Structures are given as C-alpha cells and as structure tokens.
Amino acid sequence: METPAKLRKKSFTIVEQACHQVRGFRNLYEELDDKVRLSGQSSSTLSNYARKLAQLSLQFGKLPQHISEKELNKYLASLARQSKTPSLSDFKFAVYGLRYCYRLLGMNDKVVHLPKIKHDSKLPVVLNQAECKALFNAPELLKHRILLSLMYSAGLRAREASRLKISDIDSGRMMIHIRQSKYNKDRYVPLSPLILKGLRKYFYACRPVEYLFNGNEPGTPLSVRGMQWALREAVKKCKLQKGITLHTLRHSYATHLLEYGMDIVTIKELLGHERIETTLVYLHVAKPNHSNLFSPFDRLYQKS
C-alpha cells in the first residue's frame, strides 16, 4: 500500500511536467497555491485544481487563459463523455479548477461561459441497526473493527479518522477532539463508553504510536485508501447489497441520531457542517417515530 507521501508525489508529477513544459505555468501554480492557502482551503483542493489545470495546459501547450472557448468546450465534452456521472468525475474538477483560475486572474467574463455542474440529488445510503452490527463484527482484525465502529459512533469523515491522534481521545471528559477538519474548524464529539472500552482493548493489543490508527509505519496515519480496503472487505464478508462507502457510516450516524430524537441544529454542530441546509437532507431519510409508523392502506381495512 502506498504511503501518503508517495501518493502526494505521484499526484503532483503532472504539475511538475506542466511547470517545465508550459511557459508561465509555474507562476500560475504559485499564484494558485498562495490563493488556496490564504483562503484557508485544504491541500487536497490545491491538488485537485492544479492537476486538472496542468492536464489542460499540457493538452494544448498553453495556459488556460489562452485556450479558446471552442477548444475548451471540446475538451470538457470529452471529459463528460468518459464518465457516466460527470458531477463526480474529472469533469467536475476541471470546471471547478478553471473557475478558480479565471477568478484568480480577474477573468470573470470567462467564468459565466463554463458549463454548470449538475449536482446529484439522490438521498444518502443509510444502514439500519442490524446492518451496522453485522458490518462492525465482520473484520478479522481488531484494528478494523474498532476503526469502523468509531467512525460510526462519532460521525467522522474519512480524513478525520485517518488523522485522529491518541491524544485526541479524552476519556476524562468522554469527548473526541476533531482538529482542523473541513473548513479548518475544530470540534468535539461525544466518546461512547462502549467505544472507549474497545479502544483500550485495541490500544493494548496493537500499541499505536502517535496516530490512533497507524499506517504501514508506526507514527504515520492509516491512509484513506487503507480504510476503504478494510470497509470493502467487511462489506463482502457480511454480504450487504447497499452501495456502502466510508461516508455511509457518517450518514447512518446522523440519521440514527435524528430518529432517536436529537434536534437537527445539534446534529449540524456534531457533524461540523458549515450550513444547516447540508444537515437537513437527513430529515428526508430518517423515520420520525418508530412507535407510530403505519401505512394509510392498512387503515382502509381496519375493523371499526
């Protein structure tokens, strides 16, 4: 499995090629780097935008601002055709990267001509209680059982779980400290007593160093790719048919809290959402009252 350092090096190879082969790209990249860092956005944002701009510049042998609208439309159309879901593909990052580039250069007139991204309106996949239990019991390794259980118990994003350090588990206050996550915000979430019991068993068995879940080398975090592998193996073992990702655990956490009666504003804060609209989607998934659910069809034939 590749380390995060190797993945970062590989992801920036095409950027280095563009810096050497396309005149002016290095200056553009440095401006983009400064802008992303000053705005407080994540390094993954810079990586995604820079790779797409580098691919585009290498394709045409010139900077994005010098590519004609006709050339650009043809290029974006080819990206859209390569994927069944363009909103989740290279197409999306190419458009977002170009928008960011044009705004950076003060070329707002070009921004309006770029195609709109169609956002997916599907409701999130959510596991029921039986599916959660089956999934958490499936992994052979204690490390993976604790990892998946912890992610659900605290509603963690994949990168939050990857970067979680031993010192972030506060058993005295029964809280977990999530540091500098999305939007560069810290937050606290409750630590489950059952999870703490499992964490202690895991800690004495595996002896992690610095990070709660170590990668191939002690003192390095388990990669998101490694976490995805653990989840895929667990899903195969318990034969779940839903389209389950690591984020499904977070969706299930939020939905179950709502079903158990927690208010939507508190859930928003626990999830670390910037906008309440993002959290409101769970209102469409949650069952509002377990004890009073029925179909009106049954009432049609109910004996009076």
DSSP per-residue letters across 198-249: HHHHHHHHH---SBSSB-SSTTSBPPHHHHHHHHHHHHHHHT--S---HHHH
20 is catalytic: no
250 is catalytic: yes
Q: How far is CA 88 from CA 84, 94, 95, 241, 281, in A?
A: 9, 11, 12, 22, 19
Q: Given the residues 177, 179, 182, 237, select the one marked as catalytic.
A: 182
282 is catalytic: yes
Q: Are 107 and 99 in contact (CB under 8 A)?
A: no
Q: Given the residues 165, 187, 225, 273, select the one marked as catalytic.
A: 273
Burial of 3 (0-12, 13-18, 19+ CB in 10 A): middle
177 is catalytic: no
182 is catalytic: yes
Q: Given the residues 51, 92, 157, 163, select the one marked as catalytic.
A: 157
The Cα–Cα gap between 203 and 146 comes to 10
The Cα–Cα gap between 2 and 225 comes to 9
* Secondary element (H or E) of residue 188: strand 187-190
Q: How many CB atoms are closer than 10 A to CB 78?
A: 11
Angle formed by the axes of helices 25-38 and 13-21, to 10°?
A: 130
The Cα–Cα gap between 126 and 116 comes to 29
Beta pairing partners, 169: 176
The Cα–Cα gap between 41 and 39 comes to 6
Determine the distance from the C-alpha atom of residue 164 to the mean position of all C-alpha atoms in its chain, rounded to a whole number.
15
Q: Given the residues 250, 251, 256, 268, select the one marked as catalytic.
A: 250
247 is catalytic: yes
- Smallest CA-to-CA distance from 241 within 153, 155, 136, 134 is with 134
- Catalytic residues, by residue number, are 157, 182, 247, 250, 273, 282
